[in-house]
A and B are shown apart, each in its own frame.
Chain A
Amino acid sequence: MTMRQDLPPPADRDPARIFEYQRAETWADAVELLGIWDDEAKILAGGQSLVPMLNLRLTYPGALIDVNPIPAAEPRVEDGRLVIDANTRHRAVAAAPAVRAHAPMLAHAVSFVGNVRVRNRGTFGGSLAHADPTAEIAAVALATGGDIVVLGPGGERTIPVDDFFVTYLTTALEPGDVVTGARLRTAENARWGFHEVVRRYSDFATVSVSALARPTGGRPDLRLVLGGVADRPVVVDRELLGPALDAPGDPVRARESAEAIAASLDPATDLHATAGYRRRLVAVHTRRLLQRVLGDEGGAA
């Protein structure tokens, strides 16, 4: 290894600030390396968000800790929970029999993440930890419920999905923590629907709506999650779902819920959509999903 700092950048390109590259063979390695780098390192998982950010010179980590050498087991059910390892690629999540059987909405939504190359490289844990407020996986994980499994300097612990997403690109992870996987509630008999509105196919969602209704003796246990309307995916307040739940499948009551939900939001206006347009999208897609998921049709969307 030599130091040659006088080397001019190739062509006119702004050189990335050089980073140290280290491979982690286990999650414990990754945690140890994060400790050694003391806040200067980033975990490199699938790299489908991080590497573009580095290419665009938006972030300058001192080191990248590549967790790709850490194997991921096939998604599986353990103790009544659907277990998905962090390094499971999106393509593998979408194809896994356990996911298709126990979390069909997740298998469906993952096929809309990025493009085929993103799905070949991007990972389940990477998407969760990146915490983009429009991300499909975050929204569906939240609608499904369960725990994120985290390894840190103090050992392994779990964080409920409900508490995991804090704000833009920020989670409840502490600086020395890594996501090693998730244990989601299973949803094999649930009715579900997932809608996302995109400006261009494969783009980030302007708004996404995920609805999951688990059967119970009485009214179904319904969770509705909205993406793209706040600094994180948000679970809709149960009270607002009341009208739709009172009269399952009734278009008028579904509209009542959907419009109350849309009115309760304070989304951002940006280049892609105004706040008003986002509320309108929420109202329309929520109404359609509530009607379908609670009505007789259920199933996919």
Chain B
Amino acid sequence: MIRTQVTLRVNGDDREVWVRNDRTLLDVLHDDLGMPDVRYGCAEGVCGTCTVLMDGEPVSACTLYAVQAEAHEIVTLHGWSDPRREPHPLQTCFLERGAAQCGFCTAGMLLTAATMAERDPDAGREEIRHELVGNLCRCTGYQAIVDAVEDYLHADGGDA
């Protein structure tokens, strides 16, 4: 079948890949580039496990074809917080609140919450819930996640 050569800018690196037109950005990041921090959940843009930042805003990698992502800046969880370094303060809040259990939704939760924190540092609990409504978690019941984001936003003298 027909393949197209595209250069994807992922976490600051240019990655050259040959893709079929029907390969989503999720397929290419996860399967071809071996990035486990981008996860296949629903393929409908509903669950949020494949969340990546495109030009700084969260998008579903499952509803975007890889051929469309050329010339855009893609950031995955590992690009946002390098696992070889200290955790991001938001990750620390997640750890302290026990806001992750199986961890499958966590990458999407973190990227979505971090983007909101930049845009709306005064967000309250309702705003946090509204923002994270598209990230499904089957373990925690959400309270701990919202608590963690709240901690991060309203930490006294913290980075928030």
Contact code string B127-153 (vs A, CB < 8 Å = 1, else 0): 001110111000000000000000000
A116 interface residue per 8 A CB criterion: yes
Residues of B within 8 A of A20 (CB): 2, 21
B45 A117 Cβ-Cβ under 8 A: yes
Residues of B within 8 A of A3 (CB): 1-2
B21 A19 Cβ-Cβ under 8 A: yes
Residues of A within 8 A of B1 (CB): 3-5, 7, 18
A115 B64 Cβ-Cβ under 8 A: no
Q: Contacts A54-B22, A121-B59 given; indicate if A202 touches B3 (C-beta within 8 A).
A: no
Bound complex: CA A68 to CA B65 (Å): 12
B112 interface residue per 8 A CB criterion: yes
Residues of B within 8 A of A118 (CB): 45, 60, 134
Residues of B within 8 A of A44 (CB): 65, 68
Residues of A within 8 A of B4 (CB): 21
Bound complex: CA A202 to CA B48 (Å): 12
Q: Nearest chain B CB to A219's CB is how many angstroms away?
A: 36
Number of interchain pairs (Cβ within 8 Å): 98
Q: Contacts A21-B67, A202-B133 given; indicate if A117 touches B51 (C-beta within 8 A).
A: yes
Scan residues 97-126 of chain B and give those whose CB is less than 8 A from a CB of chain A.
112, 116
Contact code string A261-279 (vs B, CB < 8 Å = 1, else 0): 0000000000000000000
Q: Contacts A48-B45, A54-B22, A114-B134 given; indicate if A121 touches B64 (C-beta within 8 A).
A: yes
Residues of A within 8 A of B133 (CB): 115-116, 201-202
B92 interface residue per 8 A CB criterion: no
A1 B45 Cβ-Cβ under 8 A: no
Bound complex: CA A117 to CA B60 (Å): 6
Q: Nearest chain B CB to A119's CB is how many angstroms away?
A: 9
Q: Contacts A52-B43, A52-B63, A202-B134 given; indicate if A117 touches B2 (C-beta within 8 A).
A: no
Contact code string A57-71 (vs B, CB < 8 Å = 1, else 0): 000000010101000
A189 interface residue per 8 A CB criterion: no
A51 B134 Cβ-Cβ under 8 A: no
Residue of B nearest to A3 (CB): B1
Residues of A within 8 A of B131 (CB): 116
B65 A18 Cβ-Cβ under 8 A: no
Scan residues 14-58 of chain A and give those whose CB is less than 8 A from a CB of chain B.
15-16, 18-21, 44, 47-48, 51-52, 54-56
Q: Nearest chain B CB to A201's CB is how many angstroms away?
A: 5
Q: Out of A2, A16, A52, A117, which one reaches B48, CB within 8 Å?
A: A117
Task: Count how many chain B residues have C-beta atoms less than 8 Å from C-beta atoms of the other chain.
Answer: 34
Residue of A nearest to B115 (CB): A116
B46 interface residue per 8 A CB criterion: yes
Bound complex: CA A54 to CA B20 (Å): 14
A120 interface residue per 8 A CB criterion: yes
B31 A10 Cβ-Cβ under 8 A: yes
B65 A51 Cβ-Cβ under 8 A: yes
B21 A55 Cβ-Cβ under 8 A: no
B16 interface residue per 8 A CB criterion: no
Q: Out of B21, B63, B135, which one reaches A47, CB within 8 Å?
A: B63
Bound complex: CA A262 to CA B71 (Å): 50
Contact code string A86-102 (vs B, CB < 8 Å = 1, else 0): 00000100000000000
Q: Contacts A3-B2, A21-B67 given; indicate if A52 touches B22 (C-beta within 8 A).
A: no
Q: Out of B3, B21, B22, B58, which one reaches A120, CB within 8 Å?
A: B58
Q: Nearest chain A CB to B141's CB is how many angstroms away?
A: 15
A51 B24 Cβ-Cβ under 8 A: yes
Residue of B nearest to A118 (CB): B45
Q: Contacts A56-B44, A115-B134 given; indicate if A18 touches B20 (C-beta within 8 A).
A: yes
Besides A10-B31, A21-B4, A52-B43, 12 more A-B contacts (Cβ < 8 Å) are A3-B1, A18-B21, A20-B2, A47-B64, A55-B44, A55-B62, A68-B68, A115-B45, A116-B112, A116-B133, A117-B63, A202-B133
Residues on B facing A (Cβ under 8 Å): 1-4, 20-22, 24, 31, 43-46, 48, 51, 54, 57-60, 62-65, 67-68, 112, 116, 129-131, 133-135
